[in-house]
Structure 1
Amino acid sequence: MADLLIEVLQAAREHGPRPALTDARGRTLTYAELSTKVLSTAQRLRDNGFTPGTRMLFSIRPGPDAIVLALGTVAAGGTVVFVDPGGGPELFARRTELAGPGWAAAESVLYAASAPGPLRALARRRGVLLPDYSALPVRHIRSGPWLPGVPRRAVSTRNLAKPIDAPFPEPNPDQDAVIVFTSGTTAAPKAVVHTRGSLAAALDALATRCALGPDTRVHTDQMMLGLPALVAGAHWSMPPYGFAPAADPAALAAGLDGATHTFLVPADLAVILDSGVPLPGSLRQVLLGSAPVLPPLLERAKTALPDVELLAVYGMTEILPVAIATAEEKIAHGGDLLGRPLPGVRARLAEDGELLVSGPNLCRGYLGQPPLTEHATGDLARLDGDRIVLTGRKKDMILRGKTNVYPGLYEPAIAALPGVAAAVMVGVPDEIGDERIVLALVPAPDAAPDLADRVRAALPGLIDASALPDEITVLPELPVAGRNRKVDRSMLRAKLAP
C-alpha cells in the first residue's frame, strides 16, 4: 500500500537540486532542502518528547514552513489536526476537546492576538473572537519571531528544521496522518481522519489524470494539488495566504506566469473571464472544483483558453478525488456529468439513488466513530454506463465557494435561539453555480423587532464560520408541501431568489 510521506521523501531523493517549494516572496526550497528540513524536524520533535500517536493542533498559514512542519510531524509518528481559530472560542474548545492534542503549532501573531492584552482587545473590537492559544495545556510550537503572548517555552519552527542527522522513516500507511474538521455545531463537531495510505491513494488517483512531472510548475495553495506535485518532482509555488483570485485577476495572472497547472473554484474563473485579463500561455491544465462546474462556464473558458485542458474534479473531504470530467465531456453530455470513477474508486447507487463511493483513498472514518467502508455522499445520481451523472441532492447540501454546508446540522441550534420559532437555511444559486446562503426565520410571538440582528450576533458562537449566512430574512411563515407539511425548500429557494 502506498504511503504519502515515503512518496514525498523518495521524490526528494530523486530530484535533490531541483526547486520543490516557492513561497509568495519568491523564496525557494530545493527537494534536498525540503527532505533535510522534514527529517530534521521529525528528529528534533522526538528529542523534545514528541511521541508516536501524538496529535498536533495546526494553525499555520499555507507556506513552505507549514508544509515542512506538517510532514515532519507525520514523520515523527504524529497526526496533524487542522483547526480554524476563526470559528470562535466555544467551537474551538469543543474541537480541541474531541481531538485531544498533546502539542499545538501556531503563528506568533496568532498567539499574540489571542492572549489577554491589547492585541486581543483590538481583534475583539473588529469582531474577531480568538481562542487563547497560550492557555492550551499542551506543548507549543511557534512560527515566526517571539512576541508577547507566545509561551516562553514554545519551540521555534526554524530551530526544529535546522539540519541534524535523522533517520529515514519506515513505511506506515495505516498511521493517522491528518484530521480535518468539516462541519457540525458547537455541541457536535465532526472531523475526518485520513491515514498516510489514504492520502497517498488520493494523490496517486489525481496524478493519473494530471500530467505532472519535473517539467511542470503548480501554482496553488491547495494541498490536494500541491502534494501530488511534490511526489511527481514538479515545482510547487504558492500565492500569498488569503489571496482571492476574483479580487485581483491581474495579480493571479502574474503569479501564474510560467505555471503549467492551477486550481480554481468556478466563481473565481467566472470573474477572471469577465475581467478580460489574459492568463499566461504556459498553462496546460486548470482544475476546477469545490462547487458545481456548469457547461456554460466551461464553454466560455474554452473560448478564452483554447490551449488549456479544463478538468472538473468531483470529491469531498472524506474521499478525494472520486471522478474527473473534461470540459468537452461535460459540454457534450449536457447534464451534470461527474465523469468516470478514477482508478481504484468504486461507485454504486443506493435504493433511493444516493451515490455511495469507496476505495483506497477513503478516509479511515470520523474521529471517535467506527471506521468507514463506504461513504454516502448525500448526492443523488444515476450511472450512464460507467459514468456518474449527478441528479440532485439528498441532504439539501449547500455549496458555497470551497465549502459544503449541511443545513440540517445547524437549523435545530438556530431554532432554539430566543425569539425564533423556525429556522431554515437554503442555497440560492447564482449564474455560475455557486450559492449564497440565506437563513429564513419565523419569529416567535415574543420575538424582538430586531430578531435578524440578534440572531446574526449569536451565530458566530453557535455554528461553523463557514456556514454563516450571507443574508438573514424574517418571514411570517415558511412554505410547506405534502401530507406531512414539511418545509418546501424548493419553493422557499424560489421565493428568496433575486
Structure 2
Amino acid sequence: MLDALAHTLRSHPDRPAVLGTTRTGAVRTKATCGELADLADRYAAALHARGVPRGGTVGVAVRPGPRALAVMLAVHRLGLRAAVLDPAAGPDVLRARLALARPDVVLADATAQAVAGWARPLARRARLALPDLAELGPVATVGRRLPGCAPALDTGVGTAVLPRPVDEDGDAVIVFTSGTTSRPRAVVHTRSSLAAGMATVTGLVRPEPGRPVLGGTFFVLVPSLASGAPVALPARSPRVLARQLRRLAPQATYLTPPQLRAALAEEARFTGRVWTGSAPASADLLTRVKAAGADEAWGVYALTELFPAAAVEQADKAAFGGEGDLVGAPLPGVEAKTDATGELVLSGPAARDRYLGEDPAPWVGTGDRARFDADGRIVLEGRCKDMVLRRAENIYPGLYEPALHVPGVELAVLVGVPAGDGDERLVAVVQPRREADHGRVRAALAAPLERMGAARPDALLLADIPLSGRSSKPDRAATARLAAARTRDAARRTRGTVR
C-alpha cells in the first residue's frame, strides 16, 4: 500500500494531497502529491546519510500532517521501522518506551520537543512533555526549528544518493499500547500485516479518486491517498469541524465517537459514508449521524493489534434486539473465536506479528468477552476485566450498557463501587446529552433498567463520564471513583435513584 501511495504521488504531482481548513471553514491545499513525494525523498536521503542501518528504528514524534506522512514513507522506503511516540504520555512513560524501542534516531517537530526556553509555555498549552534531549539519544528536528530544539534534520544532502526502495517483509511500525513505566508494551506490525490492514480498509471504504476523505488515522490517510483521494485532518474545535464538514462534503469521514458527539452538538451535517471506532459506538449515535445527512453510518471494531476486525452499519445495529453490543461479522481474512474463558481472540494477515521483546503469536487476545449470533456476527458482552462481582454474581457491563443508550443519552457505563464488605454495588453512570431534559432521561431509563433483572443497578447517577486516552474512551476507573464519591452518603439512606 505504501508502495502504491508513492507511485500515485509521483503520477499526479499537481493533485492536492493534504487539505487544510481555516477556522472559518475555508479549504486550502497544505501539500500537493508532488510536494509530499519530494518531502518523503528528502527525509529518506537524510536518514540514509545519517547511517541509520536497514532494519533500524526511527522514533517518530511528529504531529499528524504532511510531515508525519512523509516521514513514514521515508522510513518504509529504507526498510526501517517507525516507533510511534506520543508526546502527551509524559517523560516517565516515554523514557520507559524509548528504553524498550532503542531508536537509532528520534525525529520530532518543535511542538513535541518544547523543552527549553520560551518553548516551555508552548508545551504546557499543548499538554506535551518530552524528557531532556540528552535522555532521548540522537534527536533531529523536522519542520520549523524553534529555540531549544534539537538540530534540524539535514534535508539538503540531495536525493541522488537514495538507495533503491526495500522490497521485502520486515518490521514496519512499533505502536505502544498498555503496560506500565516499569513494563511498557508495544505492538509490532510487519510490512505485510500493515499492508493487509490497509487493504482491508480500502475494500471497506472504497475511496474514489478526486473526492476528499476526512480522517486523522494512518490507516485512513494512506489508503485514501493511494486511491487518489485528497485527505483532510479533522479540526480540533467541534465548531470548526462542523464548518469543515460543510465545506468539504467528504465522500467518507472517520471520527471517533467523542468527535462525532461534539460535532453533532454543533449541528454538523454529514455526507457520504461515516465511520467511527476506537471507542464503543451505540446504535443511537449511528442513528443520529444518519439523521444528520450521512448515507451510511458504520461502527468499526478494531484494535491496535488488528485493524480493522469487524464493522456494522447503523441499520443492522439498530435492528439487533439481543443482549450485548453487536459489532458485526469478521471482515475478510479475519478469523475469530472465543477461548475457554469466553474471551474473543482474533487472527489473520492484518494481525500484529508480536509484542516487542516477545515471540510471535498468531492469535490476538482482545480482552473482550463475546459470543457469535446465528449469522456469525460478533456480539460483545463486556471487558474481561470489567466484571463486577455483586452478591457472588458475575455481572458483565457490556451485556447491558447498550440498552442504556435511550434517546437523550450521550454515554452510559456500569461500574462497581466497593460496598465495604468485600462485595460491590453496581452503579449506572449515565451522561445525558447537553440539551436533554434529565427528568425525561430518567423516565426513559426506567424500562431498560427493569429489564436488567438480577443485574439491575443499585443506583443511577446522571453525570459527565470521565474520558481518557487519545481516543477519549470512557475511563472506567475514574468513573468508579466518581460514582463512589457521589453515592457514598446516599447509599446509607436508600438503594434507589441517586441525584
Query: Normalization by structure 2: what TM-score?
Result: 0.74
Partners of 2:39 and 2:387 lie apart in 1 by 41
**Helix, strand or coil at the partner of 1:114:** coil
**Helix, strand or coil at the partner of 1:395:** helix
Q: Check whether the contact 2:252–2:272 (CA below 8 A) recurs between aligned residues.
A: yes
**Helix, strand or coil at the partner of 2:362:** coil
Partners of 2:78 and 2:243 lie apart in 1 by 38
Partners of 1:47 and 1:127 lie apart in 2 by 32
Could you say which residue in structure 2 is the equivalent of 1:184?
Answer: 179
Q: Pick which of 14-23 and 94-103 moved more.
A: 14-23
Name the count of aligned residue pairs: 419
Could you say which residue in structure 1 is the equivalent of 2:360?
Answer: 371
Partners of 1:12 and 1:124 lie apart in 2 by 34
Could you say which residue in structure 1 is the equivalent of 2:427?
Answer: none
Alignment partner for residue 110 of structure 2, among 87, 108, 111?
108
Partners of 1:302 and 1:391 lie apart in 2 by 26
Alignment of 1:290-329 (within 5 A): 290-305=278-293, 308-329=295-316
Cα RMSD, aligned residues only:
3.6
- 2:276 aligned with 1:288: yes
Alignment of 1:14-163 (within 5 A): 14-24=11-21, 26-111=28-113, 113-115=114-116, 117=117, 119-120=119-120, 122=121, 130-136=129-135, 138-151=137-150, 153-156=151-154, 159=156
Shift of 1:382: 1.5
Could you say which residue in structure 2 is the equivalent of 1:447?
Answer: none
Could you say which residue in structure 1 is the equivalent of 2:378?
Answer: 388
- 2:151 aligned with 1:171: no
Q: Check whether the contact 1:266–1:434 (CA below 8 A) recurs between aligned residues.
A: no
Partners of 1:387 and 1:396 lie apart in 2 by 22
- 2:267 aligned with 1:276: yes
Q: Check whether the contact 1:195–1:364 (CA below 8 A) recurs between aligned residues.
A: yes
Cα deviation, 1:282-341, whole Å, max 9, x if unaligned, reads x21110112222222223332232x52111111110001001111111112234221121
Cα deviation, 1:358-399, whole Å, max 9, x if unaligned, reads 00000111111111201011111112232212222212299x
Cα deviation, 1:123-158, whole Å, max 9, x if unaligned, reads 79879673334213533221233332223x4425x6
Q: Pick which of 295-304 and 43-52 moved more.
A: 295-304
- Which segments of 5 or more consecutive residues in structure 1 lack a partner in the other structure? 399-425, 444-462, 480-493
Q: Check whether the contact 1:185–1:464 (CA below 8 A) recurs between aligned residues.
A: no
Q: Check whether the contact 1:23–1:63 (CA below 8 A) recurs between aligned residues.
A: no
Query: Normalization by structure 1: what TM-score?
Result: 0.74
Could you say which residue in structure 2 is the equivalent of 1:359?
Answer: 348
Shift of 1:495: 9.9
Do the aligned partners of residues 50 and 207 (structure 1) sit closer, same or farther apart at CA in structure 2, a change above 3 Å counting?
Answer: same
Shift of 1:70: 2.0
Do the aligned partners of residues 146 and 295 (structure 1) sit closer, same or farther apart at CA in structure 2, a change above 3 Å counting?
Answer: closer
Do the aligned partners of residues 127 and 244 (structure 1) sit closer, same or farther apart at CA in structure 2, a change above 3 Å counting?
Answer: closer
Q: Check whether the contact 1:291–1:434 (CA below 8 A) recurs between aligned residues.
A: no
Partners of 2:276 and 2:73 lie apart in 1 by 26
Partners of 2:327 and 2:263 lie apart in 1 by 24
Q: Which amino acid aligns with 2:60?
A: F
- 2:227 aligned with 1:232: yes
Q: Check whether the contact 1:267–1:434 (CA below 8 A) recurs between aligned residues.
A: no
Do the aligned partners of residues 96 and 69 (structure 1) sit closer, same or farther apart at CA in structure 2, a change above 3 Å counting?
Answer: same
Partners of 2:8 and 2:267 lie apart in 1 by 38
Cα deviation, 1:13-59, whole Å, max 9, x if unaligned, reads 44444222234563343333333332332123111212112212211
Partners of 2:416 and 2:337 lie apart in 1 by 33
Shift of 1:261: 1.2
Shift of 1:230: 1.7
Could you say which residue in structure 1 is the equivalent of 2:212?
Answer: 217
Q: Check whether the contact 1:184–1:464 (CA below 8 A) recurs between aligned residues.
A: no
Do the aligned partners of residues 497 and 299 (structure 1) sit closer, same or farther apart at CA in structure 2, a change above 3 Å counting?
Answer: farther
Q: Which amino acid aligns with 1:361?
A: A
Could you say which residue in structure 2 is the equivalent of 1:208?
Answer: 203
Identity of counterpart residues, as a percentage? 33
Could you say which residue in structure 2 is the equivalent of 1:12?
Answer: 9
- 2:343 aligned with 1:348: no
Q: Which amino acid aligns with 2:191?
A: R
**Helix, strand or coil at the partner of 1:183:** strand
Do the aligned partners of residues 185 and 366 (structure 1) sit closer, same or farther apart at CA in structure 2, a change above 3 Å counting?
Answer: same
Higher RCO, Cα 8 Å, sep 6+: 1
Partners of 1:33 and 1:248 lie apart in 2 by 26
Could you say which residue in structure 2 is the equivalent of 1:265?
Answer: 256
Partners of 1:438 and 1:106 lie apart in 2 by 39
Do the aligned partners of residues 359 and 51 (structure 1) sit closer, same or farther apart at CA in structure 2, a change above 3 Å counting?
Answer: same
Alignment partner for residue 253 of structure 1, among 239, 245, 250?
245
Shift of 1:104: 0.8
Shift of 1:435: 6.2
Shift of 1:194: 1.0
Shift of 1:220: 1.7
Q: Check whether the contact 2:306–2:352 (CA below 8 A) recurs between aligned residues.
A: yes
Q: Check whether the contact 2:242–2:267 (CA below 8 A) recurs between aligned residues.
A: no
Partners of 2:67 and 2:188 lie apart in 1 by 23
Cα deviation, 1:401-456, whole Å, max 9, x if unaligned, reads xxxxxxxxxxxxxxxxxxxxxxxxx999784574689897999xxxxxxxxxxxxx
**Helix, strand or coil at the partner of 1:208:** helix
